[in-house]
A and B are shown apart, each in its own frame.
Chain A
Amino acid sequence: MTVFYRRLPKFDYVSPKTLSEAWELMQGTKGIDYQVFAGGTDVIPKLKRRQGQIPKCLIDIKGIQELDYIRYDANAGLAIGALASVYAVAHSCLVSEHHPALASAAGKIAAPQIQHRATVAGNICNAAPSADTAPALLVLDATVRCASVSGERSIPLKDFFTGPLQTALSDGEIVKEILVPRSSAGPSSCYFKLSPRRTLDLAVVGVAAFIRANNGKCDEIRIGLGSVGRTPLRAFSAESTLQNAKITEESIELAAKTAAEECWPRDSIRGSAAYRRAMVRVLVARAIKQCLSGKPLGTLC
Chain B
Amino acid sequence: MEKQFSVVGKRLPMVDAAAKVNGSAQFTDDLTFPGMLHGKLLRSPHPHAKILNIDVSKALRLPGVKGVVTGAEIPDRQYGIVPKARDEYALAKGKVRYIGDEVAAVCAIDPEIAEEAVDLIEVDYEVLPAVFNVQDSIKEGAPVIHEGVANNTSFAIRKEFGDVEKAFAESALVSEDSFYSQPVNHAPMEPHAAVAQYDPVRGQVVLWSSTQIPFFLRRNLSATLMIPESKVRVIKPKVGGGFGQKIDMFAKDFCAAWFAMKLGRPVKFVYERDEVFIVTRQRHPMHLTVKTGMAKDGRILAQQFLSYADGGAYNSTAPTMMALSCFFLMVPYHVPNLLYEGYHVYTNKPVGGAMRGHGIPQARFAVERQLDLMADRLNLDPADVRTKNSIKAGEPHPGGFVINTCGFAESVQLAAEAIGWKEKRGKLPFGRGVGMGGASFPSGVTNMSHISSGAVVQVGQDGGVNVLTGAADIGQGAETVIAQIVAEVLGVSLDDVRVTAADTGTTPLDPGTFGSGVTVRAGNAARIAAESVRKKLFECVADELEANPDDLVARDGVIFVTGSPEINITFPKALKAYQYKDLPMPLVGRASWMADTNEPTTLFTQPGNFSPNYSFMTQAAEVEVDTQTGKVKVLKMVTAHDCGRPINPMLVEGQLEGSIAGGMGQALYEDVITEKGQVMNPSFLDYGFPTTMEVPEMESIDIETDDPVGPFGAKEAGEGTQLSPAPAIVNAIYDAIGVNFNELPVTPEKILKALEEKKKQGV
Contact = CB atoms under 8 A, between A and B. Distances in A.
Interface of A: 1-2, 4-7, 194, 196-202, 269, 271-272, 275, 278-279, 282-283
A140 B100 CA distance: 47
14 contacts: A1-B278, A2-B678, A5-B272, A5-B274, A194-B629, A196-B688, A199-B691, A199-B693, A202-B685, A269-B673, A269-B680, A278-B752, A279-B629, A283-B629
Contacts of B694: 197-198
B683 A5 contact: yes
Nearest to B684: A200
A272 B630 CA distance: 14
Given A197-B693, A199-B691, A5 B43 contact: no
B512 interface: no
B665 to A, nearest CB: 10
A266 to B, nearest CB: 15
B629 A198 contact: no
B678 A282 contact: no
B125 interface: no
B749 interface: yes
B43 A7 contact: no
Contacts of B272: 5
Given A197-B691, A197-B694, A269-B673, 19 more contacts: A1-B43, A1-B44, A1-B278, A2-B99, A5-B272, A5-B273, A7-B111, A7-B112, A196-B747, A196-B748, A197-B690, A198-B691, A198-B693, A199-B693, A200-B684, A201-B688, A202-B685, A275-B752, A279-B629
Given A198-B691, A282-B628, A275 B111 contact: no
Contacts of B691: 197-200
Contacts of A2: 45, 99, 678
Contacts of B683: 4-5
B673 A1 contact: no
Contacts of A282: 628-629
Given A198-B691, A199-B691, A7 B673 contact: no
Nearest to B670: A196
Contacts of A4: 274, 682-683
Interface in B679-716: 680-686, 688, 690-691, 693-694
Contact of B749 (A6, A197, A275): A275
A271 B752 CA distance: 12
Contact of B100 (A1, A6, A198): A1
B115 interface: yes
Max count, chain B CB within 10 A of own CB: residue among A196, A197, A275, A279: A196
A276 to B, nearest CB: 10
Contacts of A269: 673, 680-681, 686
Contacts of B45: 1-2
Contacts of A200: 684-685, 688, 691
A282 B631 CA distance: 12
Contacts of B690: 197
B702 to A, nearest CB: 30
- Shortest beta-carbon contacts, A-B, top 8: A198-B693, A4-B274, A1-B43, A282-B628, A275-B749, A1-B100, A196-B688, A199-B693
A197 B629 contact: no
B97 to A, nearest CB: 13
A6 B115 contact: yes
Interface string B244-284: 00000000000000000000000000001110001100000
A201 B747 CA distance: 15
Nearest to B692: A199
Contacts of B684: 200
A22 to B, nearest CB: 28
A7 B752 contact: no
B669 interface: yes
Interface of B: 43-45, 99-100, 111-112, 115, 272-274, 278-279, 628-629, 631, 668-669, 673, 678, 680-686, 688, 690-691, 693-694, 747-749, 752
A114 B511 CA distance: 42
A253 B43 CA distance: 52
Contacts of B685: 200-202
Given A198-B691, A201-B688, A282-B628, A1 B99 contact: yes
Nearest to A199: B693
Nearest to A271: B749
A182 B693 CA distance: 34
Nearest to B273: A5
Given A5-B272, A5-B273, A196 B669 contact: yes
Max count, chain A CB within 10 A of own CB: residue among B629, B682, B694: B629
A1 B363 CA distance: 32
Max count, chain B CB within 10 A of own CB: residue among A4, A201, A283: A4
A271 B628 CA distance: 15
A197 B680 contact: no
Max count, chain A CB within 10 A of own CB: residue among B44, B99, B272, B681: B272
Contacts of B678: 1-2
A271 B631 CA distance: 13
A199 B690 CA distance: 9
Contacts of A272: 749
A198 B696 CA distance: 13
A271 B748 CA distance: 9
A62 B339 CA distance: 67
B575 to A, nearest CB: 51
A278 B752 CA distance: 10
Contacts of B686: 269
A201 B669 CA distance: 12
A197 B628 contact: no
A267 to B, nearest CB: 11
A273 B634 CA distance: 26
Nearest to A275: B749
A7 B693 CA distance: 30
A7 B115 contact: yes
Contacts of B111: 7
A269 B631 CA distance: 17
Contacts of A278: 752
B626 to A, nearest CB: 9
Contacts of A194: 629, 631
Contacts of A196: 631, 668-669, 688, 747-748
A197 B112 CA distance: 34
Contacts of A1: 43-45, 99-100, 278-279, 678
A275 B751 CA distance: 11
Contacts of B279: 1
Contacts of B273: 5
A283 B680 CA distance: 28
A52 to B, nearest CB: 18
A202 B683 CA distance: 13
Contacts of B43: 1
Contacts of B749: 271-272, 275
A279 to B, nearest CB: 6
A197 B661 CA distance: 13
B419 to A, nearest CB: 23
A271 B747 CA distance: 10
Contacts of B100: 1
A5 B275 CA distance: 10
Contacts of B748: 196, 275
A275 B631 CA distance: 12
A5 B686 CA distance: 13
Nearest to B671: A269
Nearest to A285: B628
B669 A197 contact: yes
A273 to B, nearest CB: 11
Contacts of A198: 691, 693-694
A205 B44 CA distance: 35
